[in-house]
Amino acid sequence: MATEDKNRATAAAILPLVGGAANVESIAHCMTRLRLGLHDRSLVDDEALKAVPAVMGVVEDDTYQIVLGPGTVARVTPEFEQLVEEGRASSETPAPVHTAEELAEKGAALKARQKAKNSTPFKLFLRRIANIFVPLIPALIGCGIIAGLNGLLVNLGWLTSVTPALAAMASGFMALIAVFVGYNTAKEFGGTPILGGAVAAIIVFPGVANIDAFGQTLAPGQGGVLGALGAAVLAVYVEKWCRRWVPEALDVLVTPTLTVLISGLVTIFGLMYVAGEVSSAIGTFADWLLSTGGAGAGFLLGGFFLPLVMLGLHQALIPIHTTLIEQQGFTVLLPILAMAGAGQVGAAAAVYLRLPRNESIRRTIRSAMPAGLLGVGEPLIYGVSLPLGRPFITACVGGAFGGGFVGLFNQLGDSVGSTAIGPSGWALFPLLDGNHGLGSTIAIYAGGLLVGYVAGFVATYFFGFSKSLLAEFNVSQEPAPSTVAATGPAAASGDSQAKEPAGV
């Protein structure tokens, strides 16, 4: 079957299982998931969706998320959008909500569900921050891989006439990343995106080198993405104030002028300096943490990363990663955090051997393991370790040991970093960078993965199952534990839609 036909077939298989075109309100995708806004979630057939060959799992959040994996989701989404448009054009069937009473009931149910998932203001704020940076990940990955290729060619002395061009391709986006952050920030917070980008562009304008603030001469790029984020948020509030008070006849002239003028002055004579100090502090702290804490810091980061993901708090790390990449060329935190996925892979292998009679769970592991090795952990987490309970904890132990291994080498002076965010597992190899050559960096990261695999396997094999858990699941006819179709906060808080972990 041709690739386009395969992607369309996947989209066609998914559409009726989410209630058809009339039930789809919005469509988007991230690196691995198709994210759907649905009118009526009771029309979704979770189990049938999980049985679709290309579907690795489902996650229920403020949107309904279908895990398809990197690459696949970017190809299936356009086909799905086209099928939805065709379905709406050919059908006169209205959306599932027909009356005001039904709409009120469904709205109340959705509100209660969100409350049960502990959508606190802080977590919603973190989600907004993530929405600013996640769209930048494809460019970070592409430019990061080109930077790695260019570095390899420079070290080998090959293609000397081409390497300057590759350097320009790799560095161009990072030189202007503040503009893109400003644009996305204004869009996310309800302002005019181009005004947010215009204010953020001040930060990277070379002419700021002629300006003194707080007794210091400013430098282009000072404050980086944090300064751009703050400048754009300020621009949104200034713009909204102007929209409220400026007469409509003058709005088109006065509002954008005042927005750029006021926000620009505050950015130049305040935010750039403050954000620059904060950015420098982040870089200094990350270096200090791994140079002094080393194995201990790596152990804690690798071990607690998945619980942070389950609680939705990992989104706070995204601007930190981006700041480190902007400052140092790579983030030393991501390779350590990636060890959490290695622990999951090792734990899944142990579950496979400990449950030889449960063909259902073993089949799930066989299908999800390739994605897990490439850093897509949702199928193994939601389909295997989390529903079983103890194996999720022992998988975190595996991640801790892998993180400790990489952290130890950072303490010894061998920094291991990633030039982009997003990929993990084996998919992170093309993005690795460090301070002691590519070969050393790859060897340390590969060693960390191996330690994570082995530690997750050993911890799970010997400590991941109680006698009652083995008796319950190691039987021929026992069904696999249900995939948890919920978000991290739901899983952590015991949401009624998420199966309680067994045998903890």
Q: Count CA atoms within 13 Å of residue 403 on its CB side.
A: 29
Q: Count CA atoms within 13 Å of residue 84 on its CB side.
A: 24
Q: Are 45 and 58 in contact (CB under 8 A)?
A: no
Q: Go through 139-156 and write b for each residue having 16 or more CB atoms within 10 A of its CB, e for each that does not.
A: ebbebbbbbbbbbebeee
Torsions phi, psi for 217 (to 5 deg): -80, 130
Max intra-chain CA distance, the chain: 76
What is the spatial distance between Cα 77 and Cα 11, in angstroms, rounded to a whole number?
7
**DSSP 8-class letter at 20:** -
What is the secondary structure of 359-405 as a DSSP string?
HHHHHHHHHHHHHHHTT--HHHIIIIIHHHSHHHHHHHHHHHHHHHH
What is the secondary structure of 164-190 as a DSSP string?
HHHHHHHHHHHHTHHHHHHHHHHHHTT
Q: Are 337 and 302 in contact (CB under 8 A)?
A: yes
3-class SS of residue 305:
helix
For residue 213, list its beta bridge partners.
Answer: 216
Q: Go through 456-468 and write b for each residue having 16 or more CB atoms within 10 A of its CB, e for each that does not.
A: bbbbbbeebbeee
**Nearest to residue 335, comparing CAs of 373, 300, 370, 298?**
298
**Nearest to residue 260, comparing CAs of 177, 206, 197, 184?**
197
The residue with tokens 């002055």 is 265
For residue 216, list its beta bridge partners.
Answer: 213
Q: Go through 85-117 and write b for each residue having 16 or more CB atoms within 10 A of its CB, e for each that does not.
A: eebeeeeeeebbbeeeeeeeebeeeeeebeebb
Q: What tokens does 405 get?
A: 């291994």
**Nearest to residue 137, comparing CAs of 359, 419, 412, 367?**
419
From the number of C-beta atoms within 10 Å of its C-beta (0-12, 13-18, 19+), residue 223 rates as: buried
Please name the residues in contact with 426: beta carbons below 8 A apart, sequence gap of 6 or more: 373, 374, 375, 449
Active site residue 30: yes
The residue with tokens 């040991």 is 401
What is the secondary structure of 119-138 as a DSSP string?
--HHHHHHHHHHHHHGGGHH
Catalytically active residues are 30
